Amino acid sequence: LPAVFTVHGDEDGVVPHEHAARLHRALDAAHVPNRLLTLRGGGHGGFRGEEMVQAFAAISEFLAQQGIR
């Protein structure tokens, strides 16, 4: 499987955060490179500017770790 990066708000009213956490644990168990970025207070998309900056920085770091620039 390819590396997986997940961004999820912990106050998502559509998809429970536990779904993202469960995916993260399953990927770990399968030895798939992955990262779960939890945005505190974040809902289902529509993230604020500072949350987007945080997410893009984390994505960039994750891709670099995977040898992707």
- In terms of pTM, does the model score above 0.75? yes
DSSP 25: H
> CA-to-CA distance for 69 and 66, rounded, in angstroms?
9
pLDDT at 1: 80
> CA-to-CA distance for 60 and 26, rounded, in angstroms?
23
How would residue 69 be classed by pLDDT, with cut points 50, 70 and 90?
confident
What are the pLDDT digits (tens) for 22-67? 999 999 999 999 999 999 999 999 999 999 999 999 999 999 999 9
Q: Which residues lie closer than 8 Å to 36 by C-beta, 6 or more apart?
A: 6, 8, 20, 21, 23, 24
